[in-house]
Chain A
Amino acid sequence: MSLLDKFTAVQQLKSGLADTGKDPTTVVFDNIHTATRGVVEGRETILAGTNNYLGLTFDPDCVAAGVEAMQTHGTGTTGSRMANGSYSTHGKLEAELADFYHCENAMVFSTGYAANLGVLTALLGKGDVVLLDADAHASLYDGCRMSGADIFRFKHNDVHSLERRLERLEGRTGSCLIVVEGVYSVLGDRAPLAQIVRLKEKFNASLLVDEAHSLGVYGASGCGVAEEQGVLNKVDFIVGTFSKSLGAMGGFCASHHDVLGLFRYVSRPFMFTASPSPAVVATTREALHQLRTRPGLKDKLWSNANQLYGGLRELGFELGPEASPVIAVRCRNRETALADWNKLLEAGVYVNMMLPPATPGGASFLRCSVSAAHTPEQISKIIEEFARL
């Protein structure tokens, strides 16, 4: 068997995706007009699968901040934070994130993926134990695997399953990290963080929560699900991304543990990559400011989420248990999902298609994500096109 033979299966998978129409992995936006409107193959398209929850990608103040930063600090840093890539604005963003999360320490990474890899590989090592929610994001799995720690999964959002495993690992829980997400990316369901915190305390473990899809969406201040459930100060490490609600690119970790400052010296995904560009840092800082000062954005997001969830439920689609800015429509099978995704795209509605094995329960979903920037008319149009399927 040659080195390249393994790609035969990949080619077959790719060909299979295109059999029922357009390959969902090859969608190109010819143009993007606003946070919710773009052009695909010359067709005006409503964007309903971009995780642009607060709709800030075209916010005039965010754009202006990015332009000004590029003009004053250049297009890129050309180096890592440990060498020539630390600018004063990186430190300011880290201070603002620490203030936002009411903790002493924050650290910025070049992507959300790098943040999870960087934190998990710094924190964990051989002999340590990870208890990972079965539906956790690939970046969390990858970070845990890279760390060399012993990884044990528990059933998704199942506190009893977590507790049974903590009991079985008795004697090792002092070096145990529980890893969960605030909101899970495919179905939009929330972790029972208050109960998980109780277990973490009972077993003297630590807790990392990825708030990638909940930043700006949940909690009175928009910190995420940990804030919403009143346990923000009990979470050891909060990680998240700038590429969703903040409309930019990058990732972060916030913690009340001072040891986070030392991660800079041991976290290879932090040390051996270029730091975020000045424009990215500037738009992220402005977007965070908007998130903190414009609560109306979150209200608008939830109004849109409720409209879409209610409309799709009324049409009889199988959805998650509660309204959320992530709304996943369960399809009968893979073929139906591919066909319906193509129909929606041809009708001018872009959503994400989620296929197994990267999905909960091995099911296929059409995944919508709602934005504060959607108009009620756009939401109605999305519902209308789902009704035609």
Chain B
Amino acid sequence: MNKSIETVGQNLVEILTEYLKNNWADSPSSKQTITPATNMVTELQLDSFQVMEFMLEVEDHFDIVIDLESLSDIQTITDLASFVIAAQPE
């Protein structure tokens, strides 16, 4: 069943919050409030490694694959939610 962009966005906020708490507890980004509109690079200041590691978590949660080249088009959690919905089977 297809989920709405809002539902997926909220799931992604939870996954990212958990990822940062578990792996980057000391970093300033883990203290910030994350919303679907949050830009992962300019606001959270995640580096390329952190973004790629987070994507592995997202792939496993939604049972999808994300092509490395697609990452450059994904800035906000909402961008990612759109990608996730498109990548899921019908």
Interface residues of A (CB under 8 A from B): 132, 134, 144-145, 150-155, 161, 164-165, 168-169, 356-359, 361-362
Instruction: Specify the main secondary structure of chain B where it touches its partner.
Output: helix
Known: A153-B56, A161-B60. A362 touches B69 (CB 8 A): no
| CB < 8 Å neighbour of B49 from A155, A168, A362 | A362
Question: In the complex, what distance in Å separates the CA atom of A46 from the CA atom of B56?
Answer: 40
The residue from B23, B53, B65 contacting A168, defined by CB atoms under 8 A apart: B65
Is the CB–CB distance between B68 and A168 below 8 Å?
no
Size bin of chain B's contact surface: 10 to 19
A153 and B68 within 8 A (CB): yes
Query: Per-residue 0/1 for B58-70: is the Cβ within 8 Å of any A Cβ (1 yes, 0 no)?
Result: 0110011111110
Closest to B68 in A: A151
Q: Which residues of B contact A (CB under 8 A)?
A: 23-24, 47-50, 52-53, 55-56, 59-60, 63-69
Residue of B nearest to A131 (CB): B65
Known contacts: A357-B48, A357-B49, A362-B49. The answer to whether A145 contacts B56 by CB under 8 A is no
What separation, in Å, do the CA atoms of A153 and B47 have in the docked complex? 17
Looking at the complex, which one of A145, A164, A357 makes contact with B68 (CB distance below 8 Å)? A145
Q: Assess the B64–A357 pair: CB atoms within 8 A.
A: no
**A152 x B60 contact (CB < 8 A):** no
18 additional contacts (CB under 8 A) given A165-B65, A356-B49, A357-B50: A132-B68, A134-B56, A144-B68, A145-B68, A150-B69, A151-B67, A152-B67, A153-B52, A153-B55, A153-B68, A154-B56, A164-B60, A169-B65, A357-B49, A359-B49, A361-B23, A362-B23, A362-B49
**Residues of chain B contacted by A168 (CB below 8 angstroms):** 63-65
Q: Are B63 and A155 in contact (CB under 8 A)?
A: no
Report B-chain residues with C-beta under 8 Å of the C-beta of A356. Answer: 47, 49
